[in-house]
Chains A and B, each alone.
Chain A
């Protein structure tokens, strides 16, 4: 099992797919 947490502030692509192409 894995457990993770993340937090932050940033600029993201509107389609949330993490790639500009």
Chain B
């Protein structure tokens, strides 16, 4: 499933607190990127029925380079503000407490044209609102993430610098609110614009704790869903429901393109 490329890079970054609840960060990146082709000079066992697929996700049967070898010089600036951030001051520092309100991030990334031999020329902006574990008392807790972004200039950029989405096509995977559980992770990357939303609610045993023996299992019921729309993937939706015990989760879900069902299945994480 994974597709690789090679990168030689230098990165400089800084993050600082500009005001209480407001973090600013700046990153400068220089990278030289190459495509890679799969090869093998030794096999324990040659299965004639199976071949490596190429490192180009769009041409799995032929090793067509997805992009030329190129240099990218870019800068990323972001601001993250947590509404109603409270903190504790102690002699050894300032400690943020969990906020009751969402966190907002705005980000600007510029791919410089011609600077230090750079072959890219793009400008990308994105905004996100996120909040984890919003308590609803006995009803459990909710988490959500909503984001939108746009390349306001996409004169020259190559696939590694596209906006990528956290997809997944495996049955077993590590959980992450940002992840689309039924979306291919390479096919729908965009160099234009997108809107995405994710939400999950954990009932923390609200229903199952009412069933006498079952409550001993300490299972937590959860439901969730995701939405993505971009020129490459219009109106994609997914919904899932499942049970969780500590860090083990099992869920069943459905994915749709508009009203058309794409896939359904179990996910374990």
Of B4, B11, B185, the contact of A17 (CB 8 Å cutoff): B185
B250 to chain A: closest CB distance in Å?
A: 16
Of B8, B15, B166, the contact of A1 (CB 8 Å cutoff): B15
Considering only residues 178-209 of chain B, those with a C-beta below 8 Å from chain A are 185-186, 189
B3 touches A8 (CB 8 A): no
Chain A residues, CB < 8 A from B4: 11-14
B5 touches A14 (CB 8 A): yes
Chain A residues, CB < 8 A from B66: 14
Chain B residues, CB < 8 A from A11: 4-7, 36
Minimal Cβ-Cβ distance residue in B for A21 = B173
B16 touches A21 (CB 8 A): no
B268 to chain A: closest CB distance in Å?
A: 12
- Chain A, interface size category, equals 20 to 34
Minimal Cβ-Cβ distance residue in B for A9 = B8
How far, in angstroms, from A13 to B13 measured CA to CA in the complex?
Answer: 21
Indicate if B217 sits at the interface (CB-CB under 8 A).
no
Chain A residues, CB < 8 A from B68: none
Q: How many A-B residue pairs have CB under 8 A?
A: 75
Indicate if B159 sits at the interface (CB-CB under 8 A).
yes
Of A5, A16, A19, the contact of B174 (CB 8 Å cutoff): A19
Indicate if B10 sits at the interface (CB-CB under 8 A).
yes
Chain B residues, CB < 8 A from A16: 160, 164
B63 to chain A: closest CB distance in Å?
A: 14
A7 touches B9 (CB 8 A): yes
Chain A residues, CB < 8 A from B5: 11-12, 14
Chain B residues, CB < 8 A from A19: 166, 174
Chain B residues, CB < 8 A from A3: 13-14
A15 touches B14 (CB 8 A): no
Chain B residues, CB < 8 A from A5: 10-13
Indicate whether A15 sits within 8 Å of B186 (C-beta atoms), given known contacts A8-B8, A9-B8, A10-B6: yes
Minimal Cβ-Cβ distance residue in B for A11 = B4
4 cross-chain pairs, A with B, having the tightest CB-CB distances, nearest first: A1-B16, A15-B164, A21-B173, A20-B2
Chain B residues with a Cβ under 8 A of chain A:
1-17, 36, 55, 57, 66, 159-160, 164-168, 170, 172-174, 185-186, 189
**4 extra A-B contacts, CB within 8 A, seeds A4-B14, A11-B7:** A9-B8, A11-B5, A12-B7, A17-B164
What are some 6 contacts across the A-B interface (CB < 8 A)? A1-B17, A10-B7, A11-B36, A14-B4, A15-B189, A17-B185
